[in-house]
Every structure is written in C-alpha cells, then in structure tokens.
Structure 1
Amino acid sequence: MKLNEWKLGAFELTWLKGGLTQLDGGAMFGVVPKPLWSKRYPVNELNQIPLRADPILLSAHGKHILIEAGMGNGRLTDKQKRNYGLVEESQILESLAAKGLTPADIEIIIMTHMHYDHCNGLVSLQDGQLVSTFPNAVIYVQELEWAEMREPNIRSRNTYWEDNWRPIEQQVKTYQDVLELLPGISLHHTGGHSQGHAIVRLESEGKLALHLADIMPSHAHNNPLWVMAYDDYPMNSIFAKEKWIKEGIAQGAWFTFYHDAIYRVVKWNESGEIIDHVGVEQ
C-alpha cells in the first residue's frame, strides 16, 4: 500500500487511507460561482467534487498521534452512501499495518471537529456492537464541539450522531481556546465551520505547518471569502482564514489537508501562488 509520507523537522506525517466521497461542488464552495471554482478543482458531470477523508498519522515525541479519524467502515446506510457520494470506505487498519502499527498503538487523537466524515472512524462495529476503534487513545475535542456533539440542534443533528460519541466518551478530553498538547503541537479554537471547530499548528526545528481542517478543506479554498455552504458560522470562517493564512504565509508555513484529493501539503507565496507541494499518492 502506497502512503504519502512527509517530514516537518523531526515530525513525520503519513496520510492514511480514510475514505473518498463525492459531494456537491456548489455546497462545497458556497456562494462562489461555478465558473470560478471549477477552474481550480475537478468536478464531474453531476456537479460532484472528489473529497478524501484521510487522517494524518503524526509521529512526534515518540508518540503515535492521529489527526482526524476517517469515514470508517460499515458506518453508513445505503441511503447515506448515496447521499454522501461514498466511493471508498476507510482502509485505516491496512494503512496502519503498512506502518507496522495497529489501532491499539495510537495514543492520542486530535479531532478538529466531530462531523461524521471526520469521526466515523473513531467507532467500529464488532460482533454487532459499536466499540472504540482506538481503545488506548486519548481523544482531544474542543469543549463547545463536544457539548454540541452530545446535544445537537435541529441543523447539526444530521452530522452529530450519538453512535459516534457514546462508545468513546470515556476517552475524550476537552479544552477551551488553545491547548499545547506537546512541544510544537497546539490546538486552536476557531469556530466557523462549526461552533467548536479547531485547527492544528505544528512546528519542529524551525519549520511550520498549519492544518486548517474544514475552514480550508482544499487548496482551492485559500481565498478567505471562499467558504462552504456547510459552515454554520461563515463569517467566523472568513475571519479565521484571513488571520491564519496571512500569518502562515508570512512565516513560510506549509498547509496540510484532510479532504483535498489533489494535494496533501502546499506552500503559497504572498501572491497566493503555489510554490511547493506534495501531491496525493494514488
């Protein structure tokens, strides 16, 4: 199994195969007209765009850390598979095995938010029961996100599912605005896509990477004004993107992706041009 691997200083990042969906391009780019966004991201005749759901295995400070958890296996009904355009389910077990690991080896999981396409993989069906996929991991979730996960509103109940939190609730630790998880690894609450959405900042040996998760789901969303119709608080997304992208580019940061089907990592210059990248290994 071919997996994208990339180093950031002393940190090693490996993208695991977490699944592939095809969602409506209009929803993914919100009010941006199709003639604009379709020049920057592939789209099929049904107006669907390919979106990965690939967790990042972060090897740092002698620990095995996951950023996000993938689509999971056997977690969607046939109707959901059709509605969400599911093309490929997770191959997390196979991906970990390719690295000589099992789910029991994962010690920390960073969840930027708890929508189904990020957290389905936290839970597995075993002998008819839903159980934690990563039984030894501490799972970090922003406190507002965790609260809404357990008590969703009329809009968010379609993506916050009880089956995704009950089996793992004893493993969850929450935080408020900023959490320095380990040296060079910090979580920052942004809101925007969801009330409790957070991003991940990675810094090692003078090299910086920002994982902006779903406030910038693909490289084509790097314009701060290009936000998804799925965002609950779009103006918060815009303000957070404006801040983090501008500061990141000024600091020579790389930007990593969970959903992008073209790039794993990109670096932009101040004109918004891609000056370096790592493509998705097929």
Structure 2
Amino acid sequence: MNAQPWTAGRVARFALLSLGAFVFIAPYLWMLAVALKPQDEIFSSSLSLLPHRWALVENFAKALTRVPMGRILLNGVIVCGLILVLQLVTAIPCAYAMAKLRFRGAQAMVTMIMLGLLVPIHAIALPIYVALSATGTLNSYVALVSPFAISVFGIFLFLQFFRAMPDDLIAAARLDGMTELGIVRRVIVPNAWPAITAFAIFSVVAHWNDLFWPLIVVSDTRMATPPLGLLFFRAAEAGDDYGALMAATVIVTLPLVVAFLAAQRRFIEGITLTGLKG
C-alpha cells in the first residue's frame, strides 16, 4: 500500500495533534523528572529534565517507607475492584431490562437515569455521611464503597450498547428455554465485553483518583486510598521534599497507566460501539 502524501492539511493536523499530545504528557514527564532529582536540583535555576545527580533510589525509598504505600495501593485495588463488581452486577441487568424488556414505566426509568446523571456526589455527601456515621461504618471499606455501588452512568452506557444488540439473538435464546437471567449471563455479557472494558476504565480511574469522598469518611492512614495516601505523605514530609512526593505520585499513577495500556484496544472499541450504536 502506498503511503499517503504529506499535504499541507495533513501536516497541520499532525502538528496540532502532536502539540495536544505534548501538552497532556508534559506534566507527567516533569513529575518523573522531579522524582529522579535530589532536593537541591529541583529548584535550581537551570531547566533540565535529566538530573546531574540521580536520586531515584533515595526518593522512591522515602515514598515507600514514610507511609504504608503497599497498604495504600492495596486499599485502592480493593475499593476500585469492589465498586466495579457491584456496579456491573447492578448496571448490566438494569440496562438490559430497560433496553430489551417491555414493561410499564420503562420510559420513566430512563428519564430518572438521565436525571441521575445530573446529581453529583457532592450534593448528597452530607446525608450519606450522617447515615454511615450513625451505623459506625466510617473508616471502613463499607464507607468507601457503598455510595458508589450503583452507577447511573454505567446503566446509561450499557443501555446505549444493549439497544443495538439484535432482538433475534435474544428471541432465539428464549426459544432455547433460557431465563432472562440466563440470557444476561450467557448472551448479553459475552457480547458486551467492549462496553464492559470501557466502563471499567472509567470507573477505576474515577475512584482510584477520588480524593473528595475518602477525605470525608477516612481518617485512619491504614484505610487511606492512593490520593488520600499522597495527602498523608505530604503532611508527613511537611510539604518540602518534592522529590519524594513526586516519587510517591509516580507509584500511585503507574497502575492506572499500565491498566489503560493493557485495555486500550477494547476501551477504544467500546467507546466507538456505544457511541455509534446508541
């Protein structure tokens, strides 16, 4: 196949995309550069990404020892994993029912889902906090997970995807004697992996990076999630050891980068399908 000629328009698009990519990646490059530098080079007058004296081991050793970083990362994995599982268990059957079953009030439910997208967690944080405090579940996984067990965004995303699935496929499953739950488990879910992967990336990134809710319900370092752990780390460092702070930030950010790169193809496929077939 012959390569396309480099026209002026193509060069302009490539330059614009390259500029946008640089703008997005520059903070991460600077974060990594600071994590490699000793303290005296971070605020030096010379602007250089590579350090004159490497402090990688020193900074990362501080990041791993000043706070229980392993426990903090484990908390992030547990909280994000529990939230994602609960959201999928509730969102997939709900979206399937609204997309493929005929019942009174289906349109009203879709309207309520759309309205639910407009309600941020900040608006209902106080009553949820009062309820969790009354039940004695603050500083626990219950407090971190339960407010997000149902995702209206997930229901909306899967609703768009399931509407495009052929009705003949579901009718054939019913003729084979499958129950509605069996159809969801054996027909819908295997065909919905692109949408599930896309939603999983959205969910994990949102809750891994969430500081607002953990800051409200967690005061124990052992229950801290990654962003809250960084806050505790900064407090322990009195805000002056930026090399170690950036090293801790690299450690916290790295799992998300690895997860996204591993699921990149299915993520793009899922976004494309839910966008084109809604």
Task: Calculate the TM-score normalised by the size of structure 1.
Answer: 0.23
Instruction: Name the structure where helix makes up a greater proportion of residues.
Output: 2
Structure of greater Rg:
2
Which structure is richer in relative contact order (CA contacts within 8 A, separation 6 or more)?
Answer: 2
